[in-house]
Structures are given as C-alpha cells and as structure tokens.
Structure 1
Amino acid sequence: MPSLVAVCAVHALRPDAGSVGVTAIDKRAVEGAVRIGRLGVRADVQASRKHHGGPDKAVYAYAQDDAEFWERELGRELAPGWFGENLRLEGIDVNGARIGEVWRIGDSVEVEVTMPRTPCATFARWVGGAAARGWVKRFSDEGRLGAYLRVRRAGEVRAGDPVTIVSSPSGAPTVLQMYRA
C-alpha cells in the first residue's frame, strides 16, 4: 500500500545567486499532523512564485525509490525535503502517474497530478559541489522528476498516512511523458 513517508515545509530561506536572491528549497520533514490547503502545505513558502506555487503547483511530490536512487548516485543520505519536495511518498510511481490522476492521502486530502517538475539552476546550486555541474541535464535525463499537485480537497495529513489512487484518466500522458514531449 502506498504511503506518505514525510510532509515537508521550508526550514530556512537560503541566499541564492538567482534573480530572487533567496531560495526556499531547504525543506525538512514536519512532525505530527500538517494542514494542506489550496495553496499547499501550511508553513511552507515559495521564494519564486513565478516558477513555483499557485493552485496548479501547490504541492510537490517525490518518490522514496527515486530519492534512494540519487542517494546511491551521489553517495550521501538525502532526507525527506532534500529535493524541495513537500511530500515524500513510497510505493507509488510518481513519474508514471498520469496527468489528471487523483490521489487521496489519509482520510480527507485529495490531490491531482498536474505536471512534472522542471529542474532549474537553483536546484543545481542546492546540490552543490562537483555534482552541481551538469545536474539539470543529469536529473532530467534520468527522468526521476517528481510531480506537482493541485489540491482538490484540503485537510490534514501526517507521515504514515496511506495514499490511494482514486482515479487515473486512461490515455492521459504520464508525468515523464509530459516532460519529454
């Protein structure tokens, strides 16, 4: 049964060389029940609203399997939130999810898959060190992107909650197919 490994929110705004001057990519797991509303996880922020946030990018989900792949590749632990994700999920193929697919998390929250994450230079700077060189291409080529979600029904979630696929539109592209199109 797919489940929620962690709910993550911004830990600290960090200085960044990009046009905004700060980044909110430094997300960490939050303890206990956390409210998810129309615009995302309570207490989370997006430093660049031009590229992140809003109703169609309210929540960013990343798969535990993909995080473990990158842990092996980079030779370090990548705790929930390291990818800037709000939800770390296990037992669900986030990149194979269809655009328009609806998931229920816990008893009440419903989210809809809207689009893939597009890696950016801010993400590469966050990765840091030698791995940062060519990171955007490497991350893109690997196809372990994660997905943005629209919140269809607000409520509270917590680590350990089950994730259920409520509906999946047949014929709709997957997150990865949409990214590569």
Structure 2
Amino acid sequence: MRLESVCTGKTRHLDIRGQSVKTAFLKSAVSGPVQVTLDGLQGNEVAVHTDALYAISLQHYQHWAERLDVDVVDWAPGFFAENLRIDGLDETALNVGDVLSVGDEVRLSVSGPRVPCFKLCWQLDQPDTFIREFALSGKSGVYFNVECPGIIKAGDEIKIESKATGTVGLLELSEYVFEKRTIDENILCHILELPGLSETSALLLRNKLYQILDQQRTSGDRWQGWREFNVDHVVEETDEIKSFFLTPTDAKLLAPFRAGQFITVQLPIKNIESAIRVWSLSDY
C-alpha cells in the first residue's frame, strides 16, 4: 500500500440543505511532510467526530464515481472528507486492532469502519437513504487511532505490522451497526470491550445494547389474563383518595411499571358478580 495524499480541513459553517451546519467535512490535499500527533494530523480540525484519522482507498474513488455516474477527475483528494487517501487499502481485510505502519515513524491502529452521515449524502448529491448502501459496501473507509506519532508524506509505504485476534472485521462491524447481521447482548458486550474501538461505532452499538436490555427488562415477568393479588395495606392520602398496596399471591416478580400507567382490577365485592375498576399506578 502507498499513501497517495494527505488532506486536512478547518471547521466552518456550511449551508447544507438550508441549515447552517458546523463541520470540518471539506478537506484538501497538503504537500510535503505532515506531523501526525496522537489526536490526528497537525493543522486538521474536527467538529464532531473524535476519531484521530479517517482513510479511504484510492480505488474507492473510482468505484463510487462509476456507481454514481460521475467523472472521477471531478473529485479532488479529500472529497470524501478523508485525511489519508491510500492506494491499495482493502478494509474488508482489516479488523479492529490491526496495526499499520506509515513511512518510518508512524503506527496506526484500526478503530472501526466509517459510519457515514447526511453530510456525505449532501457531498455526493444523494438522498439520506444512500447512507446504508455506502456503509455496507465494504468501500466506506477506515478510522484509525494513532499509536506512534511522527512525520508522514505522500508516497510513504504502508504496511500491516500486526493482526489483532479475538476481534471483529470492519465489514462485519458495519453489518452489526446497520442491522444487516443479527446481534445479541453477548456480541455487543464483546465488541464494546475491544481496546481502541471507534467511539463513532461504540455510540451506536451501546444504543443497541440498551434497547436489548430495556426489552428484556420490560418484557420479563409479564402475565396474561387475571392474576390474584392481596391488599397488603391501605393509605388514606386525602379524604377522597386512597392508595392500595398490592402483593401477588403467587409471590412472583412483577413487570416494571411507571407512575401514571393503569391496571384493570376485578374486585371481590359481595353480591356483585364482576366489579371491574381501572386504577392508576403511582410511585409514592
């Protein structure tokens, strides 16, 4: 692999689809040696993403130009908001934690696949639905952490120095993030514990984990039909309002509830065949 170009950008406000957006999306190539720090390229600014470096393959330019029926010469280096444009980069062969060298000094570790947003669609003049196609293509690019700072320049050789084990591939990770693959709590916890995982991917995966845990919490201990309860005690809140504290006779757990929800109660009132009332729940 070879470093074809190095690109930086400054934070600015752009009019994107009628809204003022603070972004450092627009980037352009710089010439000569560039200092790489632990935070990324010297002279490069970020507005939202916390990833140190974003790289894309030179070959991906041609792929997307053909896919979108665009002349690739119209896309200068930095068009995809990348910091590094690399000749021969194959992200489908990379895993989170793999280490690459750039030139003689710099070492980078793979943190995750690019998770595109609406700004990419704006740049490519595509609807937001294009995000999914781009992310699942295996041609979206790579986020890197900086393990060893130093100087890089266009023309530097890039090598894979070590392959991580017990990790996840970038395309597989994209498929989890964009729900092309089924994911469960165990897989999510494993991925979220990977050292150096991109916070961009981690944020979305944590949301998925919370959804799974919430679903487990709210679906557990439900029941259908009538269930018998005893009135444990009664508190007279006002002259007209009483709180009834109920306990299930089967001693099993109750599903989680929130104040303001309602339950339907069938009361054993003498000489009344079916005294049904709707009571509100409280958290007093």
TM range (shorter): 0.7 to 0.9
Shift in CA distance, 132/30, structure 1 to aligned 2, threshold 3 Å: farther
Query: Where do residues 75-154 of structure 1 align in structure 2 (5 Å cutoff)?
Result: 75-77=70-72, 78-128=75-125, 131-132=126-127, 134-154=129-149
Q: Which amino acid aligns with 2:65?
A: E
1:11 Cα deviation from its structure 2 partner: 5.8
Secondary structure of 2:93 counterpart: coil
Show CA shifts across 1:91-117 (max 9, x none): 231242111000000010000001111
User: Take 1:98 and 1:108, find their aligned partners in 2: how far apart are those partners?
Assistant: 22
Give the aligned residue type for 2:12. Answer: L
Shift of 1:64: 1.0
Partner of 2:186 in structure 1? none
Partner of 1:29: 29
The whole-number CA distance in structure 2 between the counterparts of 1:137 and 1:126 is: 15
CA shift in 2, pair 1:178/1:133, >3 Å: closer
TM-score normalised by structure 2 residue count: 0.57
Q: Is the 8 A contact 1:10 1:26 kept in 2?
A: yes
The equivalent residue for 1:65 is: 59
Q: Distance in 1 between matches of 2:153 and 2:66?
A: 27
The 3-state SS of whatever aligns with 2:96 is coil
How far, CA to CA, are the matches of 1:180 and 1:39 in structure 2?
Answer: 27
Q: Greater shift after overlay, 63-72 or 110-119? A: 63-72
Residue in structure 1 matched with residue 43 of structure 2 by the alignment: 43
SS class of match (2:112): strand
Unaligned stretches of 5+ in structure 2?
177-284
Say whether the 8 Å CA contact 2:23–2:47 is kept in structure 1.
yes
Compared CA separation, residues 16 and 168, structure 1 to 2 (3 A): farther
Matched length: 172
- Which structure is higher in RCO with an 8 Å CA cutoff and minimum separation 6? 1
CA shift for structure 1 position 80: 1.8
- 1:63–1:89 contact (8 Å) kept in structure 2: yes
Alpha-carbon RMSD across the aligned residues, in angstroms, is 2.0
Q: How many angstroms does 1:12 deviate by?
A: 6.7
Q: Percent identity?
A: 30
The residue identity in structure 1 corresponding to 2:167 is A
Residue by residue over 1:100-145, the C-alpha shift from the partner in whole angstroms, topping out at 9 and shown as x without a partner, is 00000001000000111111112212222xx345321221232311
Larger CA deviation: 71-80 vs 22-31 = 71-80
Q: Give the structure with higher Rg (CA).
A: 2
Question: What is the CA distance between 1:65 and its match in structure 2?
Answer: 1.4
Task: Report if aligned partners of 1:145, 1:176 keep a CA contact under 8 Å in 2.
Answer: no
Question: Using the alignment, how far apart are the partners of 2:113 and 2:155 within structure 1?
Answer: 24
Residue aligning to 1:15: 14
- Which ranges of 4 or more aligned residues in structure 1 deviate by more than 3 Å? 16-20
Paired residue for 1:155, among 150, 154, 157? 150
Moved more, 169-178 or 82-91: 169-178
Task: Report the 3-state secondary structure (helix = DSSP H, G, I; strand = E; otherwise coil) of the residue aligned with 2:136.
Answer: helix
